[in-house]
Amino acid sequence: MSDKRIYGIDLGTTYSCIAVVNDYGKPEVLNNAEGDSTTPSVVYFESSDNIPVGKTAKNSSKMYPDRTISMIKREMGNPEFTLDIDGKSYKPEEISSFILRKLVQDASDLRGGEPITDVVITCPAYFGINHREATKAAGELAGLVVHRVINEPTAAAFFYGVEKGNDQVVLVYDLGGGTFDVTLIDVKDGNVQVVYTDGNHNLGGKDWDDLLVNYLAEQFMSEHADKGDPRDDDETLQRLVLDAEEIKRSLTTKEKVQTSIDYNFARAKVEITRDDYEALTSSLLESTITLTRTVIEEGAKKGYSSINRLLLVGGSSLMPQVSKRLKADFTIPTELFEPNLAVAKGAALVGAKIVAGELLQESLKEMTGSSDVTQADESTLRKAAEQAAQKSQFLIGGAKFKDLATTEFSDVCSKSFGVVTEDASEKQTVVFLIHNNTRVPQNVTQQFGTLTANQRIVDIQIMEQAGQTESPDVADNKLVTQGEIADLPPGLPAGSPIDISFQLEADGRLTVSAIEPSSGKSLRLEARLEGVMTKEEIKAKKGLLLQKQVS
C-alpha cells in the first residue's frame, strides 16, 4: 500500500496554513503547536541559531522590532531585498523557508512524527515567473519537494469544485493579508478552469491596518500635541500595529471598539466605530471593487455573462464592509467559504490528486501496457481506478478515487510575454506572443524578419509585462532573458525569416527557441529569474539553514 502524501501549504503574507487529505478523501487543516489552524507569517531572529516563527515571533516584535520580520511575501523575487542580522544576510526565500519549516514541523508532530517532505505551495494569481520560482526555492531551502506552485484562487476553487461536484461559474474574491486577487472560474464535473484573473500583490489587509495605525497615531497627537508622533518609536509603533489588527477583527462583530495609546508618558483613549473604520478605508475597498468589475466585464466578453456564486476567500474578506459592498454592487449570491482555510485545503486536494494520478497510471500500465489515461476506455479506467484505490491510503471506492485522480484544473498566465523588435528608425517595440489571461500551458510560434540585408547576427530579447496592463513600450516591461543567433549565412536579404517559439508551462516556466530556417542556426533560452536564488545557491545555503533551530 502506498503511504505517500503530498501536503498543501498556503504560504500567506500575514498568516500561513498547512493541510492534508485524510484517509477518507477529505482535506483537513493541521493545527500548529499552539493549537491554531493558522500561523502568523512572522520570523524572529532570537539568535543566529534559534529562530522562533509564528505567534511567539509576532509577540516578540514589540520588544525586538529590528530582529523581527513580517510581510516577507511581498518581497519574494525582489533582487534588491536582503535582511541583515548578526552579520548575515537573508534573502526572502530563506526567510520564507523558516515559515515553511514551522508549518511542517508542527504538522509532523501532530501526526505522531510522520515525515513530511512533499508539498504543493500556493501563491497569488498575479505572481510572475520570478515570484513563483522564489516560492519554490523557499520550499527547497526548507528541505521539501515542491511538486507544484499553484494560484491561491485556483486552489480555493479546486477545493470548492471537488467538494460540490456541480457545474457552475464562480467568482473568487481573495483578499488576504497582503495580496488581492479576483478570479473567474468555470467548474464542470469538479474540473476547474480559470477564465480570467486580475489583482494587486501590494494590496491586502495590512493596508487596512496601516490606515488604522495612522488614524490612532493622529488621534493621540490631536490630544497630546506636545508629545510627538508615537510612530517614531519602534516599540510603540509595533504596539499600534498589533492593536490595529485586533481592532479590525473586533469590528467584524462589534459596532465600536475602545483602545488606549501610551507614548512619551502620556495616554490617549480612542474610540473607533465600524462606520469610522469603513469610511477611513473606503478607498482600499474601492480598488478591489474596480478590479472585480473588470474581471466580470472581461469574463462576459469570453461568454461568461452569468455567474452563479461569488466566494469570499482570504482572512480580510471577513470584514463586513466587503460582503456589504459586493452585495450592493453585484447581483451575485455571495458567501464566505472558509476564508482562512480554503486555499490550503485546495492545495492539499491538488496534492492528493497528484498521488492518485500516479497510482492510477501505474495500475493502467499494469493492465494495458500504457499509462495514458486519456486513451483508456471508461470500463478499463474504472477497473484500474479500483485497483489503484486498493493500493492507496485512501479508504474510498474506485469511482471516487477515479474522480480524484482524473479531476483537472487549468490556469491562466498572469503576465504577457513578448520579443523586442526594431524598425528602420531604430525604434524598439515589444510584440507579445503570449498575452495575460491566456490559458496555460501555451506553445506559440511567430515569424519575424531580419532588419537589414546581409545581417549576420540576430539579437533576441524576451520581455515580461511589468505593469498592471500590457504595453508595447520596452520601458514598461522587464527583460527576462536574451541571447543571439550568430554566424547567419551571408547574403540574406532584409526581412529573412526568424521563427521564434514561446513555450509557457503551467508552473510559469518560460522556454524560448529561435531558428533561422535556411541554415538551421538556432537558439534556446530559459527565463532568467532576477531576484531568485540559483540551484547552486540553494544547494549551498540549504544545509546551513537546516542547521538553525526553528520553533
* Residue 459 shares a structural domain with residue 507: yes
Task: Please count the structural domains in the chain.
Answer: 3
Q: What is the pLDDT along the chain (551 residues), one digit of tens a residue?
A: 567 899 999 999 999 999 999 988 899 999 999 999 999 999 999 998 899 999 999 888 777 888 999 889 989 988 889 999 999 999 999 999 999 999 999 999 999 999 999 999 999 877 877 888 899 999 999 999 999 999 888 888 878 775 555 788 999 999 998 889 899 988 877 677 888 888 887 899 999 999 999 999 999 999 999 999 999 988 898 889 889 999 999 999 999 999 999 999 999 999 999 999 999 999 999 999 999 999 999 999 999 999 998 999 998 999 999 999 999 999 899 988 788 899 999 999 999 999 888 888 888 888 887 777 777 778 888 888 888 888 887 777 777 888 788 877 777 887 899 999 988 888 999 999 999 888 888 899 999 999 999 999 999 999 988 877 889 999 999 888 899 898 889 989 999 999 999 998 876 778 999 999 988 988 898 876 556 677 778 888 888 888 889 98
Cell numbers describing residue 161:
469544485
Report helix, strand or coil for 398: helix
* Residue 391 shares a structural domain with residue 433: no
Residue range of the domain that includes 229: 205-280
Cell numbers describing residue 550:
526553528
In whole angstroms, give the CA distance from residue 88 to residue 81.
13
* Residue 433 shares a structural domain with residue 519: yes
Please indicate, yes or no, if residue 251 is contained in any of the structural domains: yes
Length of the chain: 551
CATH number at residue 515: 2.60.34.10
Please indicate, yes or no, if residue 265 is contained in any of the structural domains: yes
By C-alpha distance, which of 387, 384, 410, 386 is closest to 400? 386
**How far does CA 256 lie from the centroid of its chain?**
34
Q: For the purposes of burial, counting CB atoms within 10 Å of the CB of 540, is it exposed (0-12), middle (13-18) or buried (19 or more)?
A: exposed
DSSP state of 53: B
Report helix, strand or coil for 205: helix
How many Cα atoms within 13 Å fall on the side-chain side of residue 338?
A: 19
Domain closes at, from 396, 411, 426: 411
Cell numbers describing residue 370:
500504457
CATH number at residue 276: 3.90.640.10
* Residue 264 shares a structural domain with residue 360: no
By C-alpha distance, which of 428, 447, 456 is closest to 519? 456
Burial code of 199-214, b = ≥16 C-beta within 10 A, e = fewer?
bbbebbbbbbbebbbe
At 145-172, the pLDDT tens digits run 999 999 888 888 878 775 555 788 999 9
Radius of gyration over alpha carbons of the chain, in Å?
26
| Cell 500575514, located at residue | 14
Judge contact between 405 and 356, C-beta under 8 A. Answer: yes
At 510-550, the pLDDT tens digits run 899 999 998 898 889 887 655 667 777 888 888 888 888 99
Domain closes at, from 372, 390, 411: 411
Judge if the upstream peptide bond of residue 441 is cis by omega within 30 degrees of 0: yes
Report helix, strand or coil for 101: helix
* Residue 431 shares a structural domain with residue 484: yes
Report helix, strand or coil for 311: strand
